[in-house]
Structure 1
Amino acid sequence: MNYLKNAWYCAGWSSDIGREPISKTFLEESIVMYRREDGTPVALSNRCPHRFAPLCEGKLKGDNIECPYHGLQYDANGTCILNPHGRGIIPKAAQLRSYPLVEREGTLWIWMGDAENIDEEQIVGTPFLVQKDQYASTTGYLKVKVNYQLFVDNLLDLTHAPYLHPDTLAGATEESMAPGKMTVEFVQGERDIQSNYFVRDMPATPQLAVFWENSAPGDFRALMHWHAPATLVLEVSLTETGKPKEEGVIVPVMHFMTPETATTSHYFFAIGHNRDIDDTEKTRVISEYAIRAFADEDEPMVEACQELMGGVLDLFALQPVLLETDVAAVKARRLLDEMILAEVNTPA
């Protein structure tokens, strides 16, 4: 399967990586990650070029990683610096690939493409994770048995919420979703798509009700922003009718989909809230709502859809029926296809 290589993918949360080497597969490539003694994160190819042993099972010697099979050592740039056998000659091919790994606002980002094409301005910020005086937040991770683009489709069309998430994330009813009640806006940029929903006089969702002081309906907004290839930023809010968004409950949610293989993905997510930020119980409750929705509702449904696609990963090849609300997901798929094709056809 072709992936967009010249792009940033979430490799985990800052707390996931320490001095103990760990491995994850990104875009079908096995990666070993650890921190140098000064705390700088490192990402290298996980396979020792000698006998293809997994370096993640090796030991760190200072900033170097030692192969667990024959003891060859590689520095943080992937260069073999020690062959403990024979005359100690180091073959020229004893080199690991080094992947740029950047740490921003509690999030780790890996660049899987050509190093000369790196553009750190493309990294999506996660400011609420570090704005401790404005938001309380939690992070999480799921390994999902679905193609990453199917999950992106799911997130770009939030009209499934009343049917799939009635007891967790949904507040809209069939009446509030009727023509004229819900406003949906789609905006396309050079590398991004926005899918924004607005519903007036909607009851609080079960998740937002944790912070909603009364039972009266309010103005609901769900602003979803997709950044190619698979980073999605959602801001959900509820305000008193007619009031500006800033006066209401705001729950930012990050959805970072990183392909593992063609049919499995890493799903990193973060949830914040701007009300009662010192109330750890409320933070726990809204996080549980989100995890239930992601793990027990979204993932099983999208996995079931993938299974019934019979191994066909090209959604359009199956000629799906398209609805008006599929606009954002369709535009994102087509934009990503164009970007991948352009990358593949760019001379090396």
Structure 2
Amino acid sequence: MNQATTAPATEQPLVRAAMPAKAADRFIRNTWYVAMWSADLEPGKMVARTLLNEPIVFFRKEDGGIAAMTDRCSHRFAPLSMGKLMAGDRVQCIYHGLEFGADGKCVKNPHGNCTIPAAAHLKAYTVVERHTLLWIWMGDKTPDPSKIPDYSCLDDRPDLHITRPGYLSVKANYELVVDNLLDLSHTSYVHAGILGNADTVEADIKVEQTGDVVAVSRPSKNADTPGILKMMSPPGFERGDQWSTISWYAPCYMILEFGVSKPGEPKEKGTGYFALHLLTPETERTTHYHYSAARWNVLTEGDEKNSAIRDKIFEMRTFAFAEQDVPVIEAQQRLMDQSRTPLSPVLLAIDAGPTRYRRVLDRLLSEDARPQ
């Protein structure tokens, strides 16, 4: 049985290993990654994505399933995604007409005696469609669908309470984005007025680990309610007891429970939302960032009002990510890349969460490298 371990706010986290001047390939390959939102893969279309430095082309098969294979023809290395999607779940290369099946095997060579060399076949990937997302297994070990993180809050409530899917391309290593999200103390400064304020600077930070899941809690008592929670709450919530607990699931998925109740009232009488963060490394220095939000215990009434709140949540969160978080994170990456020597960050009590998850990530990276 998994046991939860807790780190109090006063605990001095272990010293993090020095960060190299250049980001290394620190990707767990035998795990699930989000390739895209399901709605982004339309029938009859091909979509190219680079994931973990690997070019991949996706398309929907005629039976509705998902095909994914290396997006690089084995002949002259042209992108298959520039070619044609043909009947019978085949992709025709734009350069010389070789055709590949949904399993990655070359099924047609129109040249010479039409022989198909064994080396012509491409790698295919397992893809599962779940929680309105496409999840791809990048490694060579046997895929286990039970290990897909639980984002069922995208499935089990009215559409009116779920924001539309968001996407950003971040020019930075995915671990810098995880650091940002697991250290919610920055919301009082970077997102002042939207996600935090002066009242939320002081908080009793708690870090818990259950198995490989790391959760960081940061409650605030009788504080001025941040703008995004005030906007989605009925009158009487201008000040309140707020809580924010963000959970990290390896290698780079997070769910933040963010909400407010009236001062002294239990959490169950309050309202809030689940902020969903799904990161997928594109390269060592670029990250696919998918996000959405699902409200819980909705206290505002009327479809028109809740529709407007849903849209406003998306707009405020997108602004917070795109205009506030991402510029800082990308600047971090640039400055780290400029350094000629390894960098050792100064650690504070607020770094307990990022330090704990990196400990888990380092272990999982070592385990991933072992033979099956």
Pair in the same fold by TM > 0.5: yes
- Check if 1:137 corresponds to 2:159: no
Which residue pairs with 1:289 in the alignment? 316
Partners of 1:311 and 1:195 in 2: how far apart? 31
Distance of 2:371 and 2:133 partners within structure 1: 32
**Of the candidates 225, 228, 231, which is equivalent to residue 247 of structure 2?**
225
Mapping 1:295-314, distance limit 5 Å: 295-311=322-338
Greater shift, 187-196 or 38-47, is seen at 187-196
Q: What are the Cα deviations for residues 252-278 of structure 1, in whole angstroms up to 9, with x where unaligned?
A: 111111111111110011112233483
Q: Report whether the alignment pairs 1:331 with 2:353.
A: no
Once residues 351 and 200 of structure 2 are traced to their aligned partners in structure 1, the CA distance between those partners, rounded to angstroms, is: 19
CA distance, structure 2, for counterparts of residue 137 and residue 240 of structure 1: 25
- Give the counterpart of 2:104 among 54, 73, 78: 78
CA distance in 1 between counterparts of 2:76 and 2:41 reads: 26
Match of 2:294 among 272, 276, 283: 272
In structure 2, relative to structure 1, the CA distance for the partners of 1:310 and 1:89 (3 Å cut) is closer
Deviations 1:11-66 (A, max 9, x none): 11110112211101000000101100122111111001011010011111121111
Pick one of 159, 165, 170 that aligns with 2:191. 165
Shift of 1:326: 0.3
Counterpart of 1:97, as a letter, is K
Cα separation, partners in 2 of 1:313 and 1:150, compared to 1, 3 Å: farther
Give the counterpart of 2:258 among 222, 232, 236.
236
Q: Is the 8 A contact 2:230 2:238 kept in 1?
A: no
Structure 1 CA distance for aligned equivalents of residues 212 and 98 of structure 2: 42
**In the TM superposition, what is the alpha-carbon distance from 1:311 to its structure 2 partner?**
4.7
- The 3 A distance-change label for structure 1 pair 337 and 286 is same
Matched, 1:200 2:224: no
Query: Does the residue aligned with 2:33 lie in a helix, a strand or coil?
Result: strand
Distance in 2 between residues matched to 1:252 and 1:312, nearest whole Å: 37
AA of the residue aligned to 1:15: A
Q: Could you tell me whether the CA contact under 8 Å between 1:203 and 1:216 is conserved in 2?
A: yes
- Which stretch of the first structure deviates more once superposed, 9-18 or 240-249? 240-249
**Residue 347 of structure 1, CA deviation:** 3.2
**Root mean square deviation, CA, Å:** 1.9
Instruction: Tell me which residue corresponds to 1:250.
Output: 272
Whether the aligned pair in 2 keeps the contact of 1:234 and 1:254 (CA below 8 Å) is yes
Q: Deviations over 1:306-340 (max 9, x none)?
A: 222135699xx411110111011011112212211
Superposition deviation, residue 128 in structure 1 = 2.2
Q: How far apart in 2 are the matches of 1:71 and 1:347?
A: 37
Output the TM-score relative to the length of structure 2: 0.87
Aligned to 1:152, the other structure's residue is in SS state helix
Counterpart-to-counterpart distance in 2, 1:31 and 1:133: 33
- Matches of 2:153 and 2:211 in 1, distance apart? 25
Q: CA deviation at 1:210?
A: 1.3
1:160-184, CA deviations, whole angstroms, 9 ceiling, x for partnerless residues? 11110013221x42x5433xxx222
Q: Counterpart of 2:256 in 1: which secondary structure? A: strand
Gaps of 5+ in 2: 1-24
Count of matched residue positions in the alignment of Structure 1 and Structure 2: 339
Q: Distance in 1 between matches of 2:181 and 2:339?
A: 20
Check whether the contact 1:129–1:137 (CA below 8 A) recurs between aligned residues: no
What CA distance in whole angstroms lies between the structure 1 residues aligned with 2:136 and 2:322?
A: 25
Specify which structure has the bigger relative contact order, considering alpha-carbon pairs within 8 angstroms and separated by 6 or more residues.
2
Instruction: Determine the structure 2 residue equivalent to 1:7.
Output: 31
What amino acid maps onto 2:99 in structure 1?
Q
Three-state SS of the structure 1 residue aligned to 2:48 is strand
Question: Structure 1 pair 312/83, CA: closer, same or farther in 2 (3 Å)?
Answer: farther
Q: 1:100 touches 1:115 (CA, 8 Å); kept in 2?
A: no
Per-residue deviation, 1:7: 1.1
Query: Secondary structure of 1:164's match?
Result: coil
Partner of 1:127: 152
Query: What percent identity do the matched residue pairs reach?
Result: 37
Q: Normalized against structure 1, the TM-score is what?
A: 0.92
Counterpart residue identity of residue 203, structure 1: D
Instruction: Choose the corresponding residue for 2:129, options 103, 108, 130.
Output: 103
The aligned amino acid for 1:205 is P
Q: For residues 131 and 49 of structure 2, what CA distance do their matches in structure 1 show?
A: 21
Q: Distance in 2 between matches of 1:20 and 1:211?
A: 38
Question: What amino acid sits opposite 1:58 in the alignment?
Answer: G
Deviations 1:116-172 (CA, angstroms, capped at 9, x unpaired) = 2x22121112222222338333210000111100000000000011110013221x4
